[in-house]
Amino acid sequence: MSTHLCKYISLHKNIKTIYHKSQIMKNNSNIAISKLKKRCSDILKNKYIDIQKLDELEKDCLTQLQHTNTKITKCIDLFNTLISDIKALLLREFDDKSLIIYSKIVSTVIDVSPTKPITLFAINIYANETYLEKIQNGDDDFFLQPNSIRQNDDKALEIMFKFREYWPRLSDDNKEYIKNAMKSLINIVEMYIISKDDGNIVTEILLQVGCN
Give the pTM.
0.79
- H-run or E-run covering 74: helix 51-93
Q: For residue 125, what are the CA distances in angstroms to 78, 85, 121, 154, 175?
A: 17, 19, 5, 13, 19
Supply the pLDDT for residue 153. Answer: 44
- Give, for all 212 residues of the chain, the pLDDT tens digit: 555 555 556 666 666 665 666 566 666 677 888 888 888 888 888 777 788 888 898 898 999 899 889 989 989 998 998 899 888 888 888 888 888 888 888 888 899 999 999 998 998 889 888 888 989 998 888 887 655 555 554 566 677 788 888 888 988 888 888 888 888 899 889 889 988 998 999 999 888 877 55
Supply the pLDDT for residue 140. Answer: 84
